[in-house]
Structure 1
């Protein structure tokens, strides 16, 4: 998993019954201590072992707060079954790539609601992601356009006297109208 400062954590503030009675008593659970959802939920229920619903069943847990967990993996009462696989996958990425993958899952390819397996999501991300071109007040679309023109050799063979008249800003607008997207400095190919 990621380093401790970015560790995914959940405050399990007991159950809905406790909450409705005015109690916020609970505990922060560091998810790096678990390898899967089952182990995490067992510890949560063990921590709240003295609570039962009116019918004697274990009550529904309430996740009152969380850190470093994308919203598409968690709600007030559930953690997605693929959350631990996601954490493992992003822990193997550098911070910039992990950030881009979260953006891709949340705003571009809508995982896990798209029904894709995590491995397929990662593969489509790798095909789409072009890199980070923002930072320090830079226009990421323009920075990518300069790189694109250089990488594709678009202006190769054009006399240098004419090359300086090429309108990179206009070309960037066209490039990002159809075929590319920019999110927080990260560039993606649209498929």
Structure 2
């Protein structure tokens, strides 16, 4: 999944009337400049004030997850979700969208704060691979003498951990819920 940073989301806004008349006139609007959907649409109205009752056409967008925007609409939940994930680091935001995709969450319908809370409960961190995570578990949870660590089979331990308790995707580890 492509990394998404909601605070960097932008949309190119034109209108159907202009498009149908051969014009691509519009502008890129940074969604971080607007607190909610209504404020965003007010900027669209101002941009296309030369048209009465303009039908907006979102001709391109960046950093907006699938299901939160279409050619003629933007979800109210985009702004709620953007605000809910703003305290997550860039890496955590990337992991959040991997988690949402893996769990098939509907970002346009589900409560953003609940999603972030559940993500925080399950997110374990970023690791090179499953064995790297298993090594950290051994270091943190078990007081093995140094000589025993050289005989420990981290690969098999990782296999057992990821059979039921954890899952790994795109460099991130999550607790299975």
TM-score over 0.5 (shorter chain): yes
Residues 1:123 and 2:117 aligned together: yes
Residues 1:99 and 2:94 aligned together: yes
| Structure 2 partner of 1:18 | 18
Structure 2 CA distance for aligned equivalents of residues 23 and 75 of structure 1: 20
The 3 A distance-change label for structure 1 pair 162 and 48 is same
Higher relative contact order (CA 8 A, sep 6+): 2
Q: Secondary structure at 1:174's aligned position in 2?
A: helix
The 3 A distance-change label for structure 1 pair 118 and 104 is same
Structure 2 CA distance for aligned equivalents of residues 132 and 189 of structure 1: 12
Residues 1:145 and 2:134 aligned together: yes
User: Given that residues 180 and 190 in structure 1 are in contact (C-alpha distance below 8 angstroms), is that contact kept between their aligned partners in structure 2?
Assistant: yes
The 3 A distance-change label for structure 1 pair 72 and 152 is farther
- Return the offset for 1:40: 0.3
The 3 A distance-change label for structure 1 pair 60 and 175 is farther
Ranges in structure 1 where 5+ consecutive residues have no aligned partner: 1-5, 53-57, 135-139
| Structure 2 partner of 1:3 | none
- Return the offset for 1:142: 1.3
Count of residues in correspondence between the two structures: 171
Structure 1 CA distance for aligned equivalents of residues 113 and 27 of structure 2: 32
Q: Which one is further off, 125-134 or 79-88? A: 79-88
Structure 1 CA distance for aligned equivalents of residues 141 and 124 of structure 2: 14
With normalisation by structure 1, the TM-score equals 0.78
Structure 2 CA distance for aligned equivalents of residues 33 and 159 of structure 1: 55
- Return the offset for 1:27: 0.6
| Structure 2 partner of 1:83 | 78
Ranges in structure 2 where 5+ consecutive residues have no aligned partner: 1-6
